[in-house]
Amino acid sequence: MKVLWLQSAGCGGCTQSMLCSAPRSLFDELSDAGIEFLWHPALSLESGEEALAVLEGCAEGRLAFDVLCVEGAMLRGPNGSGKFHLMAGNGRPLTEWVERLSRQAKWVFAIGSCTAYGGLSASTPGNPLEACGLQYDTDTPGGLLGAGFRSSGGLPVVNIAGCPTHPGWIVDTLEKLALEGLSAADLDEVGRPLLYADQLVHHGCARNEYYEFKASAEKHSDLGCLMENLGCKGTQAHADCNLRPWNGSGSCLRGGFACIACTEPGFESPGHAFQQTPKLAGIPIGLPTDMPKAWFVALAALSKSATPKRVRDNAVVDHTVIRPAVKKAGK
């Protein structure tokens, strides 16, 4: 299965993340599944005229490929011309290249939240870059290719969202496509693969005991739950970050940082500081997904009344000061 990869308006962080694929080497893993890069701007030998020849061959249908992966937002400005981002050595807008190549690809993957929904490039007030995703403008279907786009393989754009996206999400989605196939049933409502988007970041969080008792951190170095005061959206973000650790051991929450829901459309413009929890009458506005406000208030009050001293005291310090009690056998 041949993969053609383009980089548009973004930081290149998704490629950097993909290179950290573990536990096996990225290229060994893909090769064993019969997957190869036909061309990648950072990883392939071809550059200049040779690279343009590859792209032109693919766009004209003379050079076969299977998957078009695009990393970075689509810049449609100014005035829909796409001239804010031209292909080096060619002068054509990258948006034009993406449209041409999408018509030839069997499947189209948006790599990262910028390509999926517009991301940080679309967050400037008024969006002067006219940035968008491949098939979404934030959470509104449309984007560069249009809401009705389907590749020749019959699927809409597959949105491997994240900022950056996890290496495993890219590799697993490519491998599932190569070895088993992908169908619309494998994607959620906004095009994300369910192999990681059927989980919440909250699942597997090392701070879950603090969450259960609503024992909240007050500052960033504290051990407690980051939802109530410090902006954590792990109960709303669709991803398996704490079940599938980054680089084998880490996640934002394990590193002491609140989840900013980077896999969600529009995460880049929350309307408040990322590390701040907006509240109304003392109740966080961003409640856990699927939980009615009345239930949350009732459960929070009950949980706080039952908080063990160990959990309450440990929540507001940067290391464990009270260890779990040792219970004698038979007690």
Per-residue pLDDT reduced to its tens digit, 86-99: 998 889 999 999 99
Question: 3-class SS at 68?
Answer: strand
Q: How far apart are CA 205 and CA 235, in angstroms?
A: 10
pLDDT tens column, 299-322? 778 888 889 999 999 999 999 999
CATH 3.40.50.700, applies to 2-195: yes
> Who's near 177: CB < 8 A, 6+ residues apart?
1, 67, 107
Average of per-residue pLDDT values in the chain = 94
pLDDT score at 283: 78
Sequence-distant (≥ 6) Cβ neighbours of residue 290 within 8 angstroms: none
Q: Which of 167-176, 229-238, 254-263, 273-282 has the lowest mean pLDDT?
A: 273-282
CA distance 260 to 119: 13
Q: Where are the alpha helices (DSSP H) in 85-238?
A: 94-104, 113-117, 167-179, 194-197, 208-212, 227-230
pLDDT 10s digits, 187-218: 999 999 999 999 999 999 999 999 999 999 99
pLDDT for the residue numbered 120: 92
pLDDT for 329: 78
- Ramachandran region, residue 86 (left: φ > 0; alpha: ψ -120 to 50; beta: rest): beta
Q: Hey, what are 122's tokens?
A: 């679309």
Neighbours of 250 (CB within 10 A): 12
- Give residue-wise pLDDT tens across range 25-41: 999 999 999 999 999 99
Model confidence at 281, in pLDDT bands (50, 70, 90)?
Answer: confident
* CA separation for the pair 231, 220 (Å, rounded): 11
Could you tell me how far CA 154 lies from the centroid of its own chain?
23
Percent of the chain with pLDDT over 90: 82
CA dist 265 → 99, 138, 201, 257 (Å): 22, 5, 15, 20
Please give the Cα distance from 210 to 216 (Å, whole number): 7
**Tokens read off for 236:** 């709303």
The mean pLDDT value for 137-152 works out to 97
Residue pair 130/75 in contact (Cβ under 8 Å)? The answer is yes
Cα 166 to Cα 20: distance, rounded to the nearest angstrom: 9
Q: For the chain, give the percent of residues with pLDDT over 70.
A: 100
CATH class of the domain defined by 199-317: few secondary structures
Domain map (residue ranges) of the chain: 2-195, 199-317
- pLDDT of 331 above 70: no
